[in-house]
Amino acid sequence: MAKPLSEREHHILGLLLEHPYLHDGITAEAGYNYVMGRTHTDRRNEQWRKSARTFAFWLKRCGFNATRQGDVNRYYWITEEE
């Protein structure tokens, strides 16, 4: 059973959902770099900050669906109306 997201993780997820190309699916590396850029002034030691690979696991835990395309996974956020 997955543990629920913390308030901070909900904030990070909110930032990620503002990604301009989210509707096309994002790679873990693109999402990681985007969120790191948005939170670069934060000096927190959060689990997802360790690497793009760790961020990929965090994306799955937050509810993103992964689809293999070529040599990378693309992560899609499924909205309620879909």
Q: Tell me the pTM.
A: 0.86
63 contacts 77 by C-beta, under 8 angstroms: yes
User: Domain segments of the chain: what residues?
Assistant: 7-76
> Which tokens sit at 80?
């309620």
pLDDT greater than 70 at residue 2: no
The yes-or-no verdict on residue 22 having pLDDT over 90 is yes
Residue 73's nearest CA partner among 35, 31, 27 is 27
* CATH architecture of the region 7-76: Orthogonal Bundle (1.10)
One-letter amino acid for residue 76 of the chain: Y
pLDDT above 90 covers a percentage of the chain that reads 73
Mean pLDDT in residue range 51-74: 94
Question: Residues 24-60: pLDDT tens digits?
Answer: 999 999 999 999 999 988 878 888 899 999 999 999 9
pLDDT for 44 equals 84
